[in-house]
Structure 1
Amino acid sequence: MPETFWGRIVMLIEEYSTSFLRGAGVTMIIALVGTFIGCIIGFAVGIVQTIPVSKKDNIVKRVVLKVVRFILTAYVEVFRGTPMMAQAMFIYFGSAAVFNINMSMWFAAFFIVSINTGAYMAETVRGGILSIDPGQTEGAKAIGMNHVQTMLYVIMPQALRNIMPQIGNNLIINIKDTCVLSIIGTVELFYTTKGVAGAKYLYFESFAIAMVMYFILTFTCSRILRFWESRLDGPDNYDLATTDTLAHTSGMYNYSTEKKEEE
C-alpha cells in the first residue's frame, strides 16, 4: 500500500479504472435517458395545464380538463415535494410488495428519474408557455390556427428557447442525483465508489476520484448545453431583408424626394 495520498490515488486508478468508468457510464446513461423522458412528460403535463377553457366550452370538456388537471397537479406537487431517495424506495420496494412487480435495475432507474424530472419540467414548461406574449396566440388564431397548431408552430419553439437553461440544470442535477439510486442497488458511479472504498478501506481517496469524475461529467455537459443555447439564440443583430419587393419598396421610398422630382 503506498504511503502518500497521490500514490494511493494512482493505485486505485490503475486497479479500478474500468469500474470507475463503467459506473460513470451508467450514471450518464440514466441521467440522459431520464432527463429526455422527463422532458417529454413535462411538456405533456405543461401543455395540458395551459389549455384555455372558457364558459362557452362544452361542459364535458370543462369537467374532464378539471379532473385531469387535478390529477396532474397532485403528481407535480407530490414528486416535487418529496426527495428522490424516498421515491426510489417507495416505488421499487412498494411495487414489489403491493403489486408483485419486480422491476429490473435499469427500468427502475429510468422510471424513477424520469417521473421526478417530469414533475419539475411540468412547472418549467408551464411557466415558459405563460411567458410568451399573448399576442402571439392571438395572431396565430387570427390566421386560422387551432390550439394544437398554435402550440406546435408558434408557442412551443419560443418557449423551448426560454426553458433551455432549466433543461440543462435538470440534466446536471440528475447526473449528481443518480447517486441516490444506489439505495436500490443501481450500480452507478457512487455505488461503484462505495465498493472500491470498502474493498481497500480508502474512503477519502476513492471519493476524491469520484468527485473529480462527477465534476468532469457536469462541467462537460454544462459547456455543451451553453453552446447549444447560444446557437438557439441566433445572432445579436438582424439585417432588414430587402430582397422582397414590398420590403424593398417600403424601405427605399421617400415621399418628399419623389414629389420634388415630379415637380
Structure 2
Amino acid sequence: MEAFLNSDYIKPMPYLLEGLVFTLLITFAGLFFGFIIGAFTGLGRLSKNKFIYGLSSVYVEVIRGTPLLAQILFIYFGLSQLMDLNMHKLVAAILAIALNAGAYIAEIVRGAVHSIDKGQMEAGRSIGLTKNQTMRYIIWPQAFKRMIPPLGNQFVISLKDTSLFSAIAVGEMVYKAKTYYATTFTPFETLTMVCVLYLLITIPTSIYLRRVERRLDV
C-alpha cells in the first residue's frame, strides 16, 4: 500500500486535483453564461426580424468556423490589447467557453424549438395567449426537454476543451500536469492520471445522459 501511495502515478494527484477544481469552475461557469447566450441567439435564429436573424447567424457561423484555441488567444491577447485591459486568465477562460459553447447551444436551442409542432403555437394563440406567453409556457418547456441530452454532450465537450487553456497558463489540469512533470520527468505517469480524471467525469456523465435520453424518449 505504501509503495502504491508513493508511486509516480499517485504523487501528482494533489496538483491535478487542484487543477480539476479550476477545470470544473471554468466548465460550469462558462456553460452557465453560454446557455444564456445560446438561448437568446438560438431564438434569434428563429426570428423573422432580419437584423436579429443576421446578427445571430453571423455570431454562430464565426464561432463555429474558427478553432477554439484561436478564440482563446484572441480573447486573452487580442481583446486585452484592443481594449487596453489587463484581463485575468480565469475571466478569459470562462468568456472563451461561454462564447464558444453559446454558438453550439444556439443550434441546440434552435433545433429543439423548431422541432415542436407549429400547431402548438397556434393552439396557444387560440386560447388567448400572446406569442411570448405561448413560447414561455407551451413551446419552451417541451423544447427544453429535448435539449437535455445534447446539452449534456456539450458539457462533456466543453470540459475537455478546458485543456486548451494551458496555452495561456490557466491552472487547469493539463497545465498543472505540465508544470509537475517538467520538474519530476514523469510525463507518462502524470498524463495517465490526467486522462483517468477526465474519464472519471466523462464516462459517468455519458452513461447518465443515455439513461435520461431513454427516460425522456427523445
When normalised by structure 1's length, the TM-score is 0.76
Change (3 A) 1:209 1:193: same
Counterpart of 1:214 in 2: which secondary structure?
helix
Structure 2 matches for 1:144-159, cutoff 5 A?
Answer: 144-159=128-143
Partner of residue 55, structure 2: 71
Partner of residue 23, structure 1: 19
1:45 lines up with 2:29 in the alignment:
no
Q: Deviations over 1:63-111 (max 9, x none)?
A: xx32222121111001001111000001110012221112112211110
Larger CA deviation: 76-85 vs 31-40 = 31-40
| Mapped partners of 2:138, 2:86: distance in 1 | 43
Partner of residue 187, structure 2: 203
Identity %: 36
Cα offset, 1:216, TM superposition = 0.4
Counterpart of 2:144 in 1: which secondary structure?
helix
| Mapped partners of 1:224, 1:22: distance in 2 | 25
Let me know the Cα RMSD of the aligned residues.
1.9
1:175 lines up with 2:155 in the alignment:
no
| Mapped partners of 1:121, 1:18: distance in 2 | 34
Structure 1 residue runs without a partner (length 5+): 1-6, 54-64, 235-263
Report which of the two structures shows the higher radius of gyration computed on alpha carbons. 1
Change (3 A) 1:225 1:10: farther
1:131 lines up with 2:127 in the alignment:
no
Q: Deviations over 1:187-214 (max 9, x none)?
A: 1001111111211111111111111111
Partner of residue 97, structure 2: 113
Aligned length: 215
Matched letter for residue 78 of structure 1: V
Partner of residue 222, structure 1: 206
Structure 2 residue runs without a partner (length 5+): none
Partner of residue 88, structure 2: 104
When normalised by structure 2's length, the TM-score is 0.91
| Mapped partners of 2:204, 2:25: distance in 1 | 15
